Structure 1
Amino acid sequence: MDFSLSPDLQALQQKTRDFIAQQVIPYERDPRQTPHGPGEALRQELVALARGTGLLTPHASPEFGGLGLSHVAKAVVFEEAGYSPLGPVALNIHAPDEGNIHLMEIVATPEQKERWLRPLAEGCTRSCFAMTEPAPGAGSDPSMLQTTAVRDGDHYVINGTKWLITGAEGARFAIIMARMEDGSATMFLSDMDRPEIRLERLMDSLDSCFTGGHGVLHFENLRVPAADVLGEIGKGFRYAQVRLAPARLTHCMRWLGAARRAHDTALAYARQRQAFGKRLGEHEGVGFMLADNAMDLHNTRLAIWHCAWVLDQGHSGNRESSMTKVTASEAAWRIVDRSVQILGGRGVTGEAIVERIFRDLRAFRIYDGPSEVHRWSLASKLLEGKIS
């Protein structure tokens, strides 16, 4: 594996870094940010900036206006975007749209791509992925899916409730996972402005970085034409893996950038803050935390790049992305937690960006599968001799 960056990728990395520093970070105190994410007007303004810089939706194929980045190239660009909580929003690489774009490029029909994917890739619309359900429905165990889809002539009638649906408020369309009469699962596409879809409420959460927040959706006799089935009937769980393996990894890429921002902020403070006759960073207790941060950043980046390389070789990457999701989320949490500690009182207030990163990042150990579920899955495969 050669992890050296080509001159073109180095130039793209620097271009993204400059864009985030010069055009995005100044928006971080914009009042159009809400507890449920950046407002739509702010999102559109940021997207326009990225469009003008040639950085909008870089992971999409050139056919849909993107740069067609490889997974390794995404690792480089997405980390730079994640350096600001608003960076992924600006580049149109935030969840869930990033994963939905990836899935639809692979699975959607030409008609579906023109109707839903192209406006999404152009940053004109947003989407949501409606899979998670309140108990006793599907969460970490997708086999518990309760939302149903019943064939009725040339339509399917969908009923059920979803929650923790990121980006639900203001989304143009949804990808809905529903259980068929034979127990299999299927994905459906539907516009969100249908009267049979009700956004019951937005859920208050620690994070505030996702446009549209996290919503509770109720589907009551939603009629979806057979032409709006995404992919093939009964292959919903398979398509979920097509989406989730790369999406887990792109989460890691973005949050690595956020963790690096927290570390850089703490390091700058430790270099200039005086305590007990010397710089704060010269005290071993603080210096060791900075060193641990640097090691966690280095090891996490290597893990992400290795997993990205595996995906670029055409492998599913399910095992690698699962392991990387756990190691990256826990390492990023350690980095941000140490950074708060180094900053002291400043670190628990809005005086530094680290407090916001701390709140946003805590959920990373839960999103796309809690660490414990990934460990359980890996342990099961180890015991069965499927991996070594």
Structure 2
Amino acid sequence: MSSASRLYDVAVIGGGLAGLTQAIALARHGLSVAVIDREDPARALAAGFDGRVSAIALASQRMLAGIGLWAHVSEAQPMWDIRVSDGDSLLFVHYDHRDLGDQPFGYMVENRVMRQAQQGAIAALPGLDLMAPMTAARIDYGAAGSGAPARLVLADGRQIEARLVIGADGRQSAIRQQAGIRTLNWSYNQTGIVCTVGHELPHDGVAQERFLPAGPFAILPMTDAVDGTHRSSLVWTEPTQRAAAIMALNDADFAAEMRQRFGDGYGETRILGPRWSYPLTFLLAQRYTDHRLALIGDAAHGIHPIAGQGLNLGLRDIAALTEALVDAKRLGLDIGRVDVLERYERWRRFDNVALSAVTDGLTRLFSNDIAPIRIARDLGLGVVERIPPLKKLFMRHAMGDVGQLPRLLRGEKLG
């Protein structure tokens, strides 16, 4: 290492919800971390930057608490019940948290609130350096087996070195592309419209997923506004061309279209604040690791939001990679070693592929109005509702409490 460089254990490329959370998890366990993010933190914290609300499964919340991040989350709405219905069908599935205990399925947290919490957690971690706005102009991973760290040349000319580079730079990941990692990907030709809805009656912590012919229509509970207004986040899926037309409507016409689908179970409704729209795509990297490189979150996989599990998949990546790296570091191993990274890849591959396949299948099954398929899926909802063991299994999936969980997701400490 030259005198002009600083050696870190890990350099994280991308400082979004996944990237910064990964950095916080590692720094909390004694690793030195540099985060290189192209976004200005002040802009990322602005109210108009991201209007989405994320579902944080109960297991994911345990991990966030274990790395000290949850303590900085200023507001979170417990998700007590989940109701899944198919259009106007009388058959539905109702998940009641009381069937499993006294804890919620998880929490709904505004992405803006999560970013604020990340900044609060960073302030208490001297081993974490956030370099933003900044990009890595060039990365040299060195020869495999040489033992030399990766060298990163930043856009401002600075150089740093790292035992491991973590790609957390989203679905269009430049890090993944530069490593030559191929992907399986396609567009659903759907767009998710997101906005916040104020309503007269309380939501009681119930998350609703209504399957309409155009796509899922999710009503997700949020905390009440400061003035007491009851709020929910709307994730409204439409074919891309139709969504563009809806987004172009004036406020009054947009609200009228929303009310036709929202129903009257919440009393009088109104749109609060701006609207956003996001293209819906599928992406799965063929591998998650390379020499001194690991991918997490959307850089490794991107799924349809039909089940609200996108961020949770990334948080499970973080829990698994953190455990693999912390264990290796304490054994005195090089954390960029192939066998260390292979442990992470094996751990996460099946879960990510399985859930990606399930969400893709659900999207194709429910985003249509073909009579025989509609009848079959309605019967399926009815069967799940009436078989308690099967229903409880799906409920535990919603909580993130199935499979071979990393210790952080179980609420246990590393070491």
Structure 1 length as normaliser, TM-score?
Answer: 0.28
The structure with higher relative contact order (CA 8 Å, sep 6+) is: 2
Higher strand share: 2
Higher helix share: 1
